[in-house]
Structure 1
Amino acid sequence: MSLNISLYTVSALLILDNEGNRLYAKYYTSTLEEQQPQKETSKSTTTSKSTSSKSQTQLKFEKKLFSKINKINQDIILYDNQLIVYKQINDVTFILTSPINENECMAYTTLSNLIEAITILLNNSIDQQIIIQNYDLVSLAIDETIDDGIIIEYDPATIVSRVTNAPIASTVDLKNIDISEKGLFNALSFAGKKLSERLNQGL
């Protein structure tokens, strides 16, 4: 039995309101989109029609999925050949979709920890209005958790830290750099030592 192992474990991340309307949506793969034949037209017309069709398909998927979720009181379901993990908090529903062969425990843990990080960022209160007001923090938290369908972080504290602490710009004081022959020799010897240490460690 061959296993289909891939880093791309998330198809989409959705946040819907209590009527199934989109608050946030990010699709990482085209598995949720219908492939429709297109007539030969100009490139710009084809692109705009394709984008419009894609958007309509996604909105229909979200509406149907929301109606399905409301009928079933579970955290993990299978729908439209997708693994769906979701959590409803107040008037907001967080949904993570993955290919059907993915690990449901990993998907559920990722979504739970992402929601925990967002809860910390939003001062322990999540509802539709607060998410809209703090859309930037929510978007950053999702981007720090999932990148291009790959789960890159699942620790809530780390996610919060990355969102709240801006990266420090590495500034170099050019006045203190010794560009003489001796300075260049010292730099080369230092680099050589570091390289030999890495090679000795087998890295």
Structure 2
Amino acid sequence: MSLYSVTALLILDHTGKRIFAKYYSPPHDTEVPKLTLAEQLKFEKGLFEKTSRQNNDILIYDNELVVYKALMGPKIYMVCPPEENEAMMFQALMGIRDALDVLLESQTDRDALMANYDRVTITIDESIDNGILLESEFNVISSRVTQEANEEPSLQNIDFTEKGLRSMFGFAREKLSQVVKQQLT
């Protein structure tokens, strides 16, 4: 199991056409070539053909672990390396699906997903960051998407002295360690 546990998140409509696709690769991994658009579309087409004939929620396709679930017509897919924990990945996928269901008021057909594309994108970004699984609880995800900013950021309130910079780096180090501890548990 790796910190970078998600290779791609896809939403394909009932004909296999792309509604949403985001491919991830670890930033430090230069050995794995990034897929071209043609390779992505070929992968998505083959994946859709394979899953349209099956009723499972988890499968191995093209040496990748794929967990998927149907929405109202479209299907949402999470693609992961084969050594990942499929139960954990499926739980994360269900969290994204349920958050979309709540945010779009149970209207998760193709037209609703396209009309609310901003919410779809933010929902996925609140769940997965650069292939790192951040959150899998649908209520936490949906509350983060609907949460409004409390105040405008201002450069006037930032202390750029040495003490202020040390404090800022300490805060960043603390937040990073919290995220890493969350991912490891």
Q: TM-score range by the shorter chain?
A: 0.7 to 0.9
Q: Residue type of the partner of 1:13?
A: L
Q: Residue type of the partner of 1:138?
A: V
Among 62, 65, 84, the alignment partner of 2:44 is: 62
Among 47, 51, 67, the alignment partner of 1:85 is: 67
Counterpart of 2:36 in 1: which secondary structure? helix
Shift of 1:171: 5.5
Equivalent positions of 1:15-94 (< 5 A) are 15-29=11-25, 54-94=36-76
Distance in structure 2 (CA, Å) of the matches to 1:70 and 1:157: 30
Shift of 1:154: 1.2
Counterpart of 1:120 in 2: which secondary structure? helix
Distance in structure 2 (CA, Å) of the matches to 1:142 and 1:172: 30
Does 2:123 match 1:141? yes
Partner of 2:138: 156
Runs of 4 or more consecutive aligned structure 1 residues displaced over 2 Å after TM superposition:
166-174
Distance in structure 1 (CA, Å) of the matches to 2:145 and 2:79: 23
Distance in structure 2 (CA, Å) of the matches to 1:82 and 1:109: 17
Distance in structure 1 (CA, Å) of the matches to 2:83 and 2:42: 23
Q: Residue type of the partner of 2:59?
A: I
Partner of 1:106: 88
Q: How many aligned residue pairs are there?
A: 155
TM-score (norm 1): 0.70
Q: Residue type of the partner of 2:44?
A: E
Shift of 1:89: 2.1
Does 2:32 match 1:13? no
Say what the alpha-carbon RMSD is for the aligned residues: 2.5
Shift of 1:22: 0.2
Shift of 1:161: 1.3
Q: Residue type of the partner of 1:24?
A: F
Distance in structure 1 (CA, Å) of the matches to 2:110 and 2:3: 31
Shift of 1:91: 1.4
Shift of 1:114: 0.6
Shift of 1:72: 1.4
TM-score (norm 2): 0.77
Among 115, 118, 123, the alignment partner of 2:97 is: 115
The unaligned stretches of length 5 or more in structure 1 are: 36-50, 175-186, 192-203
Shift of 1:167: 2.7
Among 108, 128, 145, the alignment partner of 2:110 is: 128
Change in CA separation of 1:58 and 1:172 when aligned onto 2, cut-off 3 Å: closer
Distance in structure 1 (CA, Å) of the matches to 2:142 and 2:99: 6
Distance in structure 2 (CA, Å) of the matches to 1:110 and 1:27: 16
